[in-house]
Amino acid sequence: MTFVVTENCIKCKYTDCVDVCPVDCFHEGPNFLVIDPEECIDCTLCEPECPAEAIFSEDDLPENQSEFLQINEELSLAWPVIAEKKEPPEDAADWDGKTGKTSLLER
C-alpha cells in the first residue's frame, strides 16, 4: 500500500506533508506534489497534515481519484524530491476545494 496525492493538491500545493515524511518520498512539480509509491512506508503521517485533504491511502482512494495512483507513480520518476516545507502559492486558498483541476496539472 502507498499514499496518493489527489486532484485537490493541483494549484494548492501545500507542503505541510513534506515536513513530516520520514523517508522523503514527496516529489515536486510546477503546481502539484506526488508521492513515490516505492519509497512510501505507509507511516500515515502526511495524510492529516494536508490542509487541502488531498492525500489518501491507496485503500481509501475515492473512485473518482483512482487515476492519481498512476499519476503519482509516473511523475515521481520525473520530478525532484522535496524534503522541506515551502510557502504555498499566493492563490492556494482560492483553489482549495475546486473540482475539475486535473486538466490544469503541469507536467
CA–CA gap between residue 2 and residue 37 (Å, rounded): 5
CA–CA gap between residue 32 and residue 51 (Å, rounded): 14
Q: At residue 42, does pLDDT exceed 90?
A: yes
Q: At residue 60, does pLDDT exceed 90?
A: yes
Closest C-alpha among 8, 12, 100, 10 to residue 54 = 8
Cell of residue 32, nine digits: 502539484
Across 19-45, average pLDDT? 98
pTM, two decimal places = 0.97
3-83 CATH, one of 3.40.50.740, 3.30.70.20, 4.10.140.10, 3.40.50.2000: 3.30.70.20
- Can you give the residue ranges of every domain in the chain? 3-83
CA–CA gap between residue 68 and residue 90 (Å, rounded): 24
Q: Please report the pLDDT score of residue 90 as a whole number.
A: 97
Q: What is the mean pLDDT of the chain?
A: 98
